[in-house]
Structure 1
Amino acid sequence: MHPAIKFLSNLIDINTANDNENELAQLIADQLTHHNISSKLVSYSKNRSSLIAEIGQGETVVGLTGHLDTVLPGDPAKWQYLPYKATIVDNRLYGRGAADMKSGIAALVFAFINLAKSADTLNGRVRLMLTVGEENGAQGAHQLTQLHYADDLTALIVAEPTDAHIIYAHNGSLNYTVTAEGKQVHSSMPAAGINAIDGLVAFYNEEKTLFDQAPVHSTLGPVVHSITVIASGHQVNSIPGEGFLRGNIRPIPNFYNDAVTLKLQTLLANLNQQTNAQLTLTIDNSFWPVESDPNGSLVAAAKLAYQNNFKQEPTLGVIHGATDASEFVKGLHQFETIVMGPGPWEKAHMVDEYVETDQVITMIKTYDDLVTTYLQ
C-alpha cells in the first residue's frame, strides 16, 4: 500500500465530525516531524487545533490549505462501509471524509514533504495551513486570518474535492437570521396582539424577488438565496409574540457581501414601517466570493501540472459552494486562488463517500509540480 493511502486511512479512522481536530492535527505533526519538518498547532478550543508548517525562503508565499473536520455521517446503518473505518474496494477508499477532504489533506501533506526535500532551492516559501471548523463556519480559517497567516500569501491552493479539476472561482456564502417581535395574546382575541408570523411572512414574500435586479456574474451566474429555517409559536391557542427565520445567500464577485447586506437592511427598514411585528437582522456568517484570473500564473501552473501527471487536458470551472479561501482572502493583500483536489465533489457529505486511491497518489506529484512551477 502506498504510504499516503495508509496515512489517509489513519486520518479517516479518526472521527473529526465538527470537533476533535486536535488528534488529527497531532497525527499530521508527527508525520512531518518524522521527515524533520517542524510544525505548530494553533489551539482554537478544547480538542480543536489547526496546523501551520512552512518551508523555503523568499517573498513569494504559496499557501496549501485544507480542513481537518468533516460533517456528521448520519445514520451509520445506511452506510455499506463503516464511516470511521477506511475500507478499500476496487481502488476506492470509503469513509467519512474520504472525498471531503481528508484525501486532499493526505495529498497536501505528502507533497509538502516532497517539496521540503528541495526547500533550499525553492524560489519562495510554501505554507501548509490545515484548519478546524470549515464545515461549521470556517472558524479555523477565520482564526488564522486574524493571526495574519494570510497577509503575505501570493497564491493559495485549496484541496477541496474537485476530481482534480481546476476551479478558479466560487461563490461566497452569507447566513442571516431575521427575528420578529410581536405581542402574545390568547388566540380568541387576535386583534389585541401582534402576530410575529405576519412579520416573517412579509419578509418571506419580499425576499423571493429581492435580488431580481442584481447583476449576474459571467460564470457564477446570479445571486442565489434561500430561506431554510423558520419557527414561531408554541401552542395552537396563543398568538405568537416572537419568531425567527434563517436564510442563506450566495454572493458573487460583482454583487458582494456588503451589497447583499444592504439589500436585506433596506428591506427590513421598509417592512418595519408597514407591519406591526418588528423585524431585526443579524448576519451570522459572511464568507466572500473568490475569483482568480483563469489566464493567470497560478492557473497556468496548475494546468501544466495536471497535464503532465494525468496525461490529459485539464478542465477549468467554477463551483457555487464557499471554501476556507472565503476567509483567507480577507488578509491584507490580494492573491491568486484555485480549488483543486482529489475526490468527487458530488460525493462530499454523502453516505459511502469515497475517493479513488490512484487519484490521491497522482495529486501528490501534481501539487509538487504545481508549486515548483509557480515558484519558478
Structure 2
Amino acid sequence: MTTVAELTRELVSISSHEDETAAGDFIEKWLREETAGEVVRDDVGNVIARRGTGETSLALVGHHDVVAPAASQTNDEGEYIVEERDGRLYGRGTADMKGSVAAAMLAFRDADPSCELVFASFVGEETGGTGATHAINEGFAPDFAIVGEGSTNYSKPGVTDVVVAHKGGRGSTITVEGEPSHASEPSAGVNAIYRATEAIDLIRDLPRPHVEVFGEELSGTAVVTQIHDGGNASNVIPGQCTLTVDERTVPGERVDLSQVENIDGVEWTVNYDGPPMRCDDEAFAETVLAAAVDAQDGEPELTTKPHVTDAGRLVGAGVTCVVCGASEPGEAHTDTESANLEVLERCYRIYRGTAERL
C-alpha cells in the first residue's frame, strides 16, 4: 500500500507553480484508480471526489498549486528536486501543501466514514483563491471542512493543533494629491508627502479589532508598508504620494481605514481582500481535536493562525471549517521548505479519524 511519504514524494515532484494541470492529472488518476469515490475535474482544474452517505458531509480540502521554486529546488532541466533526510521530505510544496493533500487522499481512500466524505484539491490558492472561488460559485458547500494548511507546532513544539480562526489579509492603496511648486516657495504649493504623513499618523492611531473564538484571541493589524511616487525632484514640492497598507483582518471586524479620506486630497482604494476564518461550531472543532489527540503523543490545542487560507472563502459560503495540517511556522514558501514525515502520517490519522467519528 502506498504510504503518505511515497505519495507526497510523487506529488511534490510535479511542477505546479505556473500550470497545475499535471498535478491535477496525477491526483485525478490516483483517485479514480485507488478509491471508490466519484471523481470530478471541473472547468478550472479543481479535483473533487465524493464517497459514502450520511446526513452530513465532511470535506478534506487542499490545493495543488505552489509558489515558484527557488533555483536550489529545481535541477538543470527545471524539474522539482525532492530529497528525504533526517525524517523530513524537502522540496517545493512539501509543506504548502502537497504533503497534507497526500494525507487527505489516503484518508479519503481508507476511511470508513460516518458521513459523506469529500476530497477537494483546488487550483489557484496562491494567486487569490481562484479555484476555491470557482468551486463555491458552482455550489461546493459541504457541511464541514478540514483545510489542510499548517497547524503544526503552533501551541507548542511537537504537536499538530486544530486552528479555529485565522486572520484575513486586505491590501490597500492610499493616493495623496497635493499641489507642486518650487521648493524655494513651499507655501505656494501643497506638499503631498506632508498630507501622507497625516494619513500615516491617523492609521497608526486607529483602533485594532480583537475577537475571541472558543477562548482563543485573534487581533487585527494595519501597517503602512510602502511609500512611493513621493516627488520627482529635490527642488520641487511634491504634488503626489502613494502609500501601501497591509492589513490583517479578523472575523467580522476591520480597521476603519476609510477615515483617511477625511484628509483633503486623500483617496483610499482596496486592492484585495482575503477573508478571515472563524469556526462557528465548537462541537465540530472538538471532534477534530479529539481525532488529533488520538493521532499523536503530544497535547494538541485549539488555536489561531495568522495566515489567509481557502478556509476563509469556504466560511463565507456557509461551510463550518477548521484548519489542520503538516506545515510548521517558517516552512512555507522558503528555499528550504520541508515537511516532517511523521507529521504527515499524523495528519492522515487525524483526517481519517475525524471522518469516522463525525
Q: Please give the range of the TM-score, normalised by the shorter of the 2 chains.
A: 0.7 to 0.9
Partner of 2:284: 298
Looking at structure 1, the residues matched to 84 and 300 of structure 2 have their Cα atoms a distance apart, in angstroms, of 27
Looking at structure 2, the residues matched to 199 and 181 of structure 1 have their Cα atoms a distance apart, in angstroms, of 8
Partner of 2:148: 159
Which of 53, 56, 60 in structure 1 is aligned with 2:56? 60
Offset at residue 162 of structure 1 (A): 1.6
Structure 1 stretches of 4+ moved >6 Å: none
Partner of 2:329: 345
Which of 195, 199, 204 in structure 2 is aligned with 1:199? 195
Looking at structure 1, the residues matched to 313 and 6 of structure 2 have their Cα atoms a distance apart, in angstroms, of 31
Cα gap change, 1:271 to 1:156, in 2 (>3 Å): same
Offset at residue 190 of structure 1 (A): 4.9
Cα gap change, 1:63 to 1:355, in 2 (>3 Å): same
Cα gap change, 1:186 to 1:21, in 2 (>3 Å): farther
- Pair 1:21-2:12 in alignment: no
Residue pair 2:178, 2:192 contacting (<8 A) in 1 also = yes
Q: Secondary structure at the match of 2:101?
A: helix
Gaps of 5+ in 1: 273-277
Residue pair 2:145, 2:320 contacting (<8 A) in 1 also = yes
Looking at structure 1, the residues matched to 344 and 210 of structure 2 have their Cα atoms a distance apart, in angstroms, of 38
Partner of 2:245: 247
- Pair 1:269-2:261 in alignment: yes
Residue pair 1:64, 1:156 contacting (<8 A) in 2 also = yes
Deviations 1:200-251 (A, max 9, x none): 2221121001125x45646334321222222114632454443322222222
Looking at structure 1, the residues matched to 62 and 73 of structure 2 have their Cα atoms a distance apart, in angstroms, of 29
Partner of 1:310: 296
Cα gap change, 1:177 to 1:148, in 2 (>3 Å): farther
Looking at structure 2, the residues matched to 307 and 184 of structure 1 have their Cα atoms a distance apart, in angstroms, of 64
Cα gap change, 1:59 to 1:241, in 2 (>3 Å): farther
Cα gap change, 1:78 to 1:132, in 2 (>3 Å): closer
Looking at structure 1, the residues matched to 145 and 306 of structure 2 have their Cα atoms a distance apart, in angstroms, of 18
Number of matched pairs: 345
Cα gap change, 1:78 to 1:40, in 2 (>3 Å): closer
Q: Give the 5 Å matches for 1:126-145.
A: 126-145=117-136
Residue pair 1:175, 1:247 contacting (<8 A) in 2 also = yes
Q: Secondary structure at the match of 1:99?
A: helix
Cα gap change, 1:25 to 1:233, in 2 (>3 Å): same
Partner of 1:227: 224
Looking at structure 2, the residues matched to 317 and 8 of structure 1 have their Cα atoms a distance apart, in angstroms, of 26
Deviations 1:162-184 (A, max 9, x none): 22221112222222222223445
Looking at structure 2, the residues matched to 56 and 5 of structure 1 have their Cα atoms a distance apart, in angstroms, of 26
Which of 286, 309, 321 in structure 1 is aligned with 2:273? 286
Question: Structure 1 length normalisation: TM-score?
Answer: 0.82
RMSD: 2.8
- Matched to 2:174, the amino acid is V
Looking at structure 1, the residues matched to 92 and 231 of structure 2 have their Cα atoms a distance apart, in angstroms, of 37
